[in-house]
A and B are shown apart, each in its own frame.
Chain A
Amino acid sequence: MKLFRRKPQPKPAPPRRSRPGLDARVPEGDPLTAWERRQAEYRLVSPANRRKMTVIVVGTGLAGAGAAAALGELGYNVECFTFHDAPRRAHSVAAQGGINAARAKKVDGDSISRFVTDTVRGGDFRGREADVVRLATESVRVIDHMQAIGAPFAREYGGQLATRSFGGVQVSRTYYTRGQTGQQLQIAGAQALLRQVERGTVNLHTRTEMLDLIVADGRAQGIVTRDLVTGELRTWTGHAVVLATGGYGSVYFHSTLAMNSNATATWRAHRRGAHFASPSFVQFHPTALPVSSHWQSKTILMSESLRNDGRIWVPKRADDERAPGDIPEDERDYYLERRYPAYGNLTPRDIASRAARTEIEAGRGVGPLKNSVYLDFRDAIARLGRDVIASRYGNLFDMYADVTGEDPYEVPMRIAPGAHFTMGGLWSDYDQMTSMPGLFVGGEAGNNYHGANRLGANSLLSACVDGWFTLPLAVPNYLADHAGQPVLSPDAPEAKAALKDVRRRTERFLRGGKTRPATFHRRLGEILYRGCGVSRDERGLNLALKEVRELREEFWRDVHVAGTGDRLNQELEKAGRVADFLELAELMVQDALARTESCGAHFREEFVLPDGEAQRDDERWCSVSAWETTESGRHVLHEEPLEFELVPLQVRNYK
Chain B
Amino acid sequence: MRVELEIWRQASQTAKGAFERHVVDDATPEMSLMELLDRLNDQIVGQGDEAIQFESDCREGVCGACGVTVNDDPHGPVPNTPSCRQHLRSFGEVRKLRIEPLRSGAFPVIRDLVVDRSSLDRVIRAGGHVDVAAGTAPGADSLRIPYEEAELSLDFAACIGCGACVAACPNGSAHLFGGSKLAHLALIPHGEQERGRRAEAITETLDAEFGPCSTYGECVKVCPAGIPLSAVAAVHKERLRGVFRGRDN
User: Does chain B have a CB within 8 A of A245?
Assistant: no
Is there contact, CB below 8 Å, between A85 and B85?
no
Please pick, from A70, A150, A198, A404, the residue contacting B130 in the complex, using a CB distance under 8 A: A150
Tally of A-B residue pairs with Cβ under 8 A? 219
> Chain B binding site: helix, strand, loop or mixed by DSSP?
loop
Please pick, from A88, A94, A145, the residue contacting B161 in the complex, using a CB distance under 8 A: A88
For A158, what are the chain B residues with a Cβ–Cβ distance below 8 Å? 144
A69 nearest in chain B by CB position: B134
Is there contact, CB below 8 Å, between A94 and B130?
no
Cβ < 8 Å to A, chain B residues 154-200: 154, 157-161, 184-185, 187-188, 190-191
Is there contact, CB below 8 Å, between A159 and B147?
yes
Is there contact, CB below 8 Å, between B146 and A258?
no
User: Does chain B have a CB within 8 A of A191?
Assistant: yes
User: Does chain B have a CB within 8 A of A73?
Assistant: yes
Is there contact, CB below 8 Å, between B30 and A85?
no
User: Does chain A have a CB within 8 A of B71?
Assistant: no
Is there contact, CB below 8 Å, between A198 and B116?
no
User: Does chain B have a CB within 8 A of A144?
Assistant: yes
Per-residue CB contact flags for chain B residues 85-124 toward chain A (1 = under 8 Å, else 0) read: 1010100000000000000000000110010111011001
Is there contact, CB below 8 Å, between A562 and B51?
yes
Is there contact, CB below 8 Å, between B134 and A259?
no
Per-residue CB contact flags for chain A residues 287-305 toward chain B (1 = under 8 Å, else 0) read: 0000011011110110000
B interface residue count range (under 10 / 10 to 19 / 20 to 34 / 35 or more):
35 or more
Per-residue CB contact flags for chain A residues 340-360 toward chain B (1 = under 8 Å, else 0) read: 000000000000000000000
Please pick, from B60, B116, B153, B184, the residue contacting A94 in the complex, using a CB distance under 8 A: B60
- Are A141 and B133 CB-contacts (below 8 A) given A86-B121, A88-B161? no
A229 nearest in chain B by CB position: B110
Q: Of the 9-residue stretches A320-328, A426-434, A567-575, which lies at the interface with chain B? A: A567-575
B133 nearest in chain A by CB position: A73
User: Does chain A have a CB within 8 A of B45?
Assistant: yes
- Are A296 and B42 CB-contacts (below 8 A) given A84-B57, A144-B139, A194-B128? no
Please pick, from B60, B161, B188, the residue contacting A86 in the complex, using a CB distance under 8 A: B161
For A159, what are the chain B residues with a Cβ–Cβ distance below 8 Å? 144-147
For B124, what are the chain A residues with a Cβ–Cβ distance below 8 Å? 190-191, 194
Please pick, from A73, A93, A569, the residue contacting B62 in the complex, using a CB distance under 8 A: A93
Cβ < 8 Å to A, chain B residues 20-44: 28-32, 34-36, 38-39, 42
B160 nearest in chain A by CB position: A183
Give the shortest distance, in Å, between B111 (CB) and chain A (any CB): 4
- Are A155 and B145 CB-contacts (below 8 A) given A88-B64, A259-B57, A405-B89? yes
A476 to B106, CA, bound (A): 40
Is there contact, CB below 8 Å, between B125 and A194?
yes
Number of interface residues of A (CB under 8 A): 78
For B143, what are the chain A residues with a Cβ–Cβ distance below 8 Å? 147
A258 to B11, CA, bound (A): 26
Please pick, from A86, A187, A191, A563, the residue contacting B50 in the complex, using a CB distance under 8 A: A563
Per-residue CB contact flags for chain B residues 60-84 toward chain A (1 = under 8 Å, else 0) read: 1011110000000000000000000
Per-residue CB contact flags for chain A residues 145-186 toward chain B (1 = under 8 Å, else 0) read: 101111111111111110000000000000001101011100
Per-residue CB contact flags for chain B residues 201-237 toward chain A (1 = under 8 Å, else 0) read: 0000000000000000000000000000000000000
A406 nearest in chain B by CB position: B30
Is there contact, CB below 8 Å, between A148 and B137?
yes
Is there contact, CB below 8 Å, between A571 and B45?
yes
Q: Which residues of B are at the interface with A, using a C-beta cutoff of 8 A?
A: 11-12, 28-32, 34-36, 38-39, 42, 45, 48-51, 53, 55-60, 62-65, 85, 87, 89, 110-111, 114, 116-118, 120-121, 124-126, 128-135, 137-141, 143-147, 149-151, 153-154, 157-161, 184-185, 187-188, 190-191
Query: Besides the contacts A293-B31, A472-B134, A571-B51, what 17 more A-B pairs have beta carbons closer than 8 Å?
Result: A73-B133, A88-B161, A94-B60, A103-B141, A105-B141, A145-B135, A147-B140, A147-B143, A148-B130, A148-B137, A155-B150, A293-B30, A300-B59, A469-B134, A516-B42, A567-B12, A568-B110
4 shortest interchain CB distances as A-B pairs = A159-B144, A148-B137, A195-B129, A147-B140
Q: Which residues of A are at the interface with B, using a C-beta cutoff of 8 A?
A: 66, 69-70, 73, 84-89, 91, 93-94, 103, 105, 141, 143-145, 147-161, 177-178, 180, 182-184, 187, 190-192, 194-195, 197-198, 206, 229, 258-260, 292-293, 295-298, 300-301, 402-405, 468-469, 472, 516, 518, 560, 562-563, 567-571
